[in-house]
Structure 1
Amino acid sequence: MNLPKVVTDLIEAQNTFDSVAYANCFSESGVMLDEGKNHVGRAEIQKMIEESNKKYRSVMKPLEYTENGNLSVLSAECSGTFPGSPIILKFHFEIADEKIQHLKVTD
């Protein structure tokens, strides 16, 4: 599977529970929508991922990736200490200048 470097970096950061590296995949004003909540900016994204890592210890295994211009979708099997693990989630990216501008996570 041929993934952009920023997506590979995001997966690696998630799988090593590195919230700083995860947040650094985003532009300074990047937005992440997860579990119905918007998280805006690297600091807020880092805090959310840090809390999520402590609670769920979730890791990602990429399954499929499609791309259309600066929009792309990654399907990944996510497993951790949450009910229903593992599950398949879709990560809807908007990428510009090798940084994530917007990420929406759906099931």
Structure 2
Amino acid sequence: MNLPAVVTALVNTQNNFDSVAFAKCFTETAVVFDEGKTHNGRKEIENWISKANEEYQATMKPIEYSETEQTVKAEVLGNFPGSPAVLTYRYEFEEGLIQSLQIV
């Protein structure tokens, strides 16, 4: 699967539970929408993923990518009800980084 470089980096940092490197995949003004909550800016995104890593220990394995839709479907495995689950990650990119991410 030929993922954008920043998405590959995001997956690798998630699977290594590296919240700082994960947040660096985003622009300074990026927005993440997950579980009905909005996380604004790189620092808030870092705090969100750090807490999620601590609580869920979730890893992701991309299983499908759509360049036209800018989506990745991934199998997510962790300490949460319904694990493993297939989630869809919808991206918007800006200058090689993620500007927006919606997880559904």
- TM-score, with structure 2 as normaliser: 0.98
User: Identity of aligned pairs, percent?
Assistant: 49
The CA distance in 1 between the partners of 2:28 and 2:101, in whole Å, is: 13
The CA distance in 1 between the partners of 2:64 and 2:93, in whole Å, is: 17
Of residues 77, 88, 103 in structure 1, which corresponds to 2:101? 103
The CA distance in 2 between the partners of 1:96 and 1:48, in whole Å, is: 21
- TM-score, with structure 1 as normaliser: 0.95
Q: Which residue of 2 aligns with 1:24?
A: 24
The CA distance in 2 between the partners of 1:66 and 1:33, in whole Å, is: 19
Q: Which residue of 2 aligns with 1:47?
A: 47
Structure 1 outlier segments of 4+, above 4 Å:
none
Structure 2 unmatched ranges of 5 or more: none
Q: How many residues are matched? A: 104
CA drift at 1:67: 1.1
**Aligned-residue CA RMSD in angstroms?**
0.7
Alignment map for 1:61-72 (pairs within 5 Å):
61-68=61-68, 72=70
Structure 1 unmatched ranges of 5 or more: none
